[in-house]
A and B are shown apart, each in its own frame.
Chain A
Amino acid sequence: MNTPTALIAEDEHLLAQALQADLARAWPALKVLATVGDGASAVKQALALQPDVLFFDIRMPGMTGLEAAAELAEQWPTQGPQARAFPALVFVTAYDQYAVQAFEAQAVDYLLKPVQAARLQKTIEKLQLALAKPESPAINFEATLGQLRGLLAGATGPSTAAPLRVIQASVGSTIRMVPVDDVLCFEAADKYVRVLTAEREYLIRTPLKELQEQIDATVFWQIHRGTVVRALAIEAVTRDEAGKTFLSLRGLKEKFVVSRLYAHLFKAM
């Protein structure tokens, strides 16, 4: 077996160093390829270095560890000559009871800071076992996608707000009342959310996450981090040679990218 490799993403320099030192003591064979301090660099370095194990801090500047993992899953090469097994994920967090509950529920490994030697040992044993007898990479990847989906859904939280019926969008100096029943798609764009109906497009400032808490998830499906579409308006879902999935909506010319996390929604019956 090759030397196992790892990537550490942690914004606090001392803690990153300490984790690396602890790992060197408890798992001398493991080679830490790099240490990065933010989510975007974590994705970039993970793609470049293709390590076996990822230690991702949850709270990082720019992108959370969870978002970084989802983004990495999106871009990870699963086909062709560069295809490799998706790395094993270990999340690191100081304190977040909700996150910890979610990790337990999704059977995702995690470490609590300050990292205790005994707990780290357990994680290492689990990782060694997983690396020693790898299951089929495809099955593994599907399982990871499922876990990330579960974690991301948990991060949004259950909806407590009253269901939204009308979108109030400002167009110039007037406020247009757009019935949610007319909306085909919500798409996050920079600091706005595009609201698409068959006739026209509106821009609103309410973040997509907030909107999602107020609309019915069985009516509007999430197909990408930044895209939610009306399920009944979906016309066709196609897959190109590169493995990317696209979706078209009745009444709209635009094509929408379906992320790998949500591609499981579209399987032939």
Chain B
Amino acid sequence: MKIDWLVKLRHFLQTTAFCLAIAGLHLAFKPNMSYDIPLVYSLSIGLTSWLLIDFGRLLFASAWESGWPAGIWGKLLPLTGIALGYVIGTSMGDWWFGWSTWAGASRQQLFLSVLVSVVIGIIITYYFYSAQKGKYLERKVGEATRLATEARLKLLETQLEPHMLFNTLANLRVLIGTDPQRAQDMLDRIVAYLRATLTASRATSHPLAREFDRLRDYLELMSVRMGPRMHYVLDLPPDLADQNIPTLLLQPLVENSIKHGLEPKVEGGTITVRALRDGQRLTLQVSDTGVGFDSEAALSNGFGLAQVRERLTAAYADLGTVEQTSTPGQGTCILLHLPLTP
């Protein structure tokens, strides 16, 4: 943890200002007492307490991020700091004036001055504490917002992958000249695909039938691009069409199959998406006859599968699972198991 000396200087000056104000108040109540006595005691007690608390909290690991120790230490630290600050500060004042408060003052006087120090100390500590906490919370909120925005952006970026988008538009441009009817069909699919992608971050779930419609849009776009190199099979039994699943859950898997399975394969292949009833569970299968990969080797199809796993966990906790098998040269198969909705 790094100490921000500018912040410490500000705290020092603020504490000094508080001490001066306390000495001033004291003078207002007891105008016949000389000004230097409350001034010296107030400064020595105040600044010693400040030093002990403001630097003492650095000793607690839990304070490094939030600025304040967690649990009981959060309360013990200021109390100890103030008590020690009172003893040390009073001794320093005594040394300055060359007398002893401990010997000279009555128990009642001593009690009163301890009480005043503690109350004022707690008020000032609380002031610093809440200012710090406000800043900490503000920072936390900012961080959370940033993470959420980043996640959304990442989702959009994968789904609106520029390479796919521009290649699709290039194909569309060709078809406009050669086959306007097909161009129109293709444009309709692009519109449906874009609409689904852009609204996916708002709706959290939709029926399987819609999911399959969006997959068909995407696969149709890809089959215009890849021509005879790509075939696809979509198999959704009618009795499962109403099952709800997280929006565009399968989309990144289909995209992976194309990008990592079929696109690198010179002769292309087939991609199959299937929904099955498996007892009380729903099984979704995305498989391809692409290049596959060595399952022992480090997998690099990163974002897609990790994101699907995260979304399954978020939606079904332990009830949603992912299985992946792949054979080099033969293809990849991903199975998602989720609970059936009644």
Contacts and interface: CB of A to CB of B under 8 A. Distances in A.
| A and B: bona fide binding partners | yes
Interface of A: 11-15, 17-18, 37-38, 40, 59, 61-62, 94-96, 112-115, 191, 205-206
B163 A95 contact: yes
Contact of B169 (A38, A114, A206): A114
A141 to B, nearest CB: 29
A114 B173 contact: yes
A103 B246 CA distance: 41
Contacts of A40: 266
Contacts, number: 68
B325 to A, nearest CB: 18
B45 to A, nearest CB: 51
In this complex, which of A94, A191, A206 has the most chain B Cβ atoms within 10 angstroms of its Cβ?
Answer: A94
Nearest to A97: B162
Interface of B: 162-163, 165-167, 169-171, 173-175, 177, 224-227, 229, 263-266, 268, 294, 296-298, 328
Contacts of A62: 264-266
Q: Is the interface of A mostly helix, strand, loop or mixed?
A: loop
B225 A61 contact: no
A14 B294 contact: no
B170 A113 contact: yes
A134 to B, nearest CB: 32
B167 A14 contact: no
Contacts of B297: 191, 205
A12 B173 CA distance: 13
Contacts of A12: 167, 170-171, 225-227
B227 A113 contact: no
A20 B129 CA distance: 72
Contacts of A61: 229, 263-266, 268
A-B pairs, top 3 by smallest CB distance, nearest first, are A114-B170, A113-B170, A94-B166
B296 A14 contact: no
18 contacts: A11-B229, A12-B167, A12-B226, A12-B227, A13-B227, A15-B170, A15-B171, A15-B174, A17-B174, A59-B263, A61-B264, A61-B266, A113-B166, A114-B169, A191-B297, A191-B328, A205-B296, A206-B298
